[in-house]
């Protein structure tokens, strides 16, 4: 059984994959202080609850937070007796290497998104990932990650407004019924919701102009469905794209080892 671990700056997703399908996925806040023993007790309890038995024999990790990798390696070594593949490290090969400026280390989540998108759709794709950041990952015709855009995430923007303006409360993102807010919360929701619709629409348009060939757009990340309601921003929404990409990278490393 393969365990895929996708550590974002806010949340970490664990997903178990066997016989070509995900058995279950679980989410935990990303904290570098978490020990291998804590991960293990948490994970095995959830596996028990779901009635998932069998040994974890392989692990692949994507981490945008370098510090958490240490304890995840300990987890693999102590409890699963394996060495994890860590995306972005030299010994974890990618099906298609990225084409970026020399010395640039693209986020491993973006490399996984590219591998997942290419596997499902072929190239000429842009992935829009709504996580801590809202990032756009451009995948060329041959499947190479070639760059993109990093914008502040939706929840970060809301938090920044609350932090920076004494009279503005913390607000959760939602789609307001109107653009012209008639109370403070409505005004903030409008600014962030319609602001991001404009951001995504405008950046996708400019990416397509610059790229010069037709491109599919795939939405992923927790907030993608919210921004897709009633809009035609994305061709598809695939909330498992990053972890799917991890299975693709792992399979590639096994097949070519």
Ligand X SMILES: CC(C)(CO)[C@@H](O)C(=O)NCCC(=O)O
Ligand Y SMILES: Nc1ncnc2c1ncn2[C@@H]1O[C@H](COP(=O)(O)OP(=O)(O)OP(=O)(O)O)[C@@H](O)[C@H]1O
Chain residues in the site for K ion (CB under 5 A): 8, 131
Known binding residues for K(+) are 129
Question: Binder to ligand X among 135, 155, 190, 242 (CB under 6 A)?
Answer: 135
Tell me whether residue 131 or residue 245 sits nearer to K ion (CB atom): 131
- The stretch near ligand Y (CB under 6 A) out of 78-86, 115-123, 140-148, 215-223 is 215-223
The enclosing H or E element of 85 equals strand 85-86
**Cβ atoms of 251 and 118 closer than 8 Å:** no
End-to-end CA distance of the chain: 18
Q: Is 109 a catalytic residue?
A: yes
Q: Which residues are annotated as a binding site for ATP?
A: 6-13, 132
Polymer length of the chain: 257
- Least CB distance to ligand X at residue 110 (A): 5
Binding residues: 6-13, 107-110, 129, 132, 184
- Should residue 245 be labelled a site residue for ligand X when binding is judged by CB under 6 A? no
Q: What whole-number distance in Å separates Cα of residue 257 and Cα of residue 251?
A: 10
For residue 222, the minimal CB distance to K ion (Å) is 8
Alpha-carbon torsion, ordered 80, 245, 158, 204, to 10 deg: 170
**Contact partners, residue 164, CB within 8 Å, separation at least 6:** none
Helix or strand holding residue 154 (H, E): helix 154-164
From 131, 143, 176, 245, residue interacting with ligand X (rule: CB under 6 A): 131
* 250 touching ligand X, by CB under 6 A: no
- Within 13 Å and on the Cβ side, how many CA atoms surround 142? 8
Residue 64 engages ligand X in binding (rule: CB under 6 A): yes
Q: Measured from the CB atom, is 25 or 208 closer to ligand Y? A: 25
When asked if residue 253 is in the footprint of ligand Y (CB under 6 A), the reply is no
User: Please, are residues 45 and 28 in contact by the beta-carbon 8 Å criterion?
Assistant: no
Would you tell me which residues interact with ligand Y (CB under 6 A)?
A: 8-11, 130-132, 155, 172-173, 221-223, 226
Catalytic residues: 109
């Amino acid at each position: 059984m393969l365990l895929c671990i996708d550590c974002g700056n806010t949340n970490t997703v664990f997903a178990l994959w066997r016989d070509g399908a995900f058995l279950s996925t679980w989410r935990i806040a990303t904290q570098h202080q978490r020990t291998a023993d804590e991960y293990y007790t948490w994970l095995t309890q959830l596996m028990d609850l779901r009635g998932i038995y069998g040994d974890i024999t392989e692990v692949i990790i994507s981490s945008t937070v370098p510090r958490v990798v240490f304890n995840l390696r300990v987890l693999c070594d102590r409890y699963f007796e394996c060495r994890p593949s860590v995306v972005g490290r030299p010994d974890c090969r990618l099906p298609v290497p990225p084409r970026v400026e020399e010395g640039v280390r693209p986020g491993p989540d973006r490399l996984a998104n590219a591998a997942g998108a290419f596997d499902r759709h072929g190239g000429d794709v842009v992935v829009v990932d709504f996580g801590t950041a809202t990032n756009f990952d451009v995948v060329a015709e041959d499947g190479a990650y070639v760059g993109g855009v990093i914008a502040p995430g939706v929840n970060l923007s809301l938090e920044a407004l609350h932090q920076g303006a004494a009279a503005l409360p913390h607000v959760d993102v939602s789609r307001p019924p109107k653009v012209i807010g008639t109370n403070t919360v409505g005004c903030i929701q409008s600014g962030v919701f319609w602001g991001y619709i404009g951001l995504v629409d405008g950046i996708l348009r400019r990416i397509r102009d610059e790229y010069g060939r037709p491109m599919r757009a795939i939405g992923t990340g927790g907030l993608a469905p919210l921004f897709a309601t009633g809009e035609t921003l994305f061709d598809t929404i695939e909330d498992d794209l990053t972890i799917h990409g991890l299975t693709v990278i792992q399979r590639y490393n096994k097949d070519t080892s």
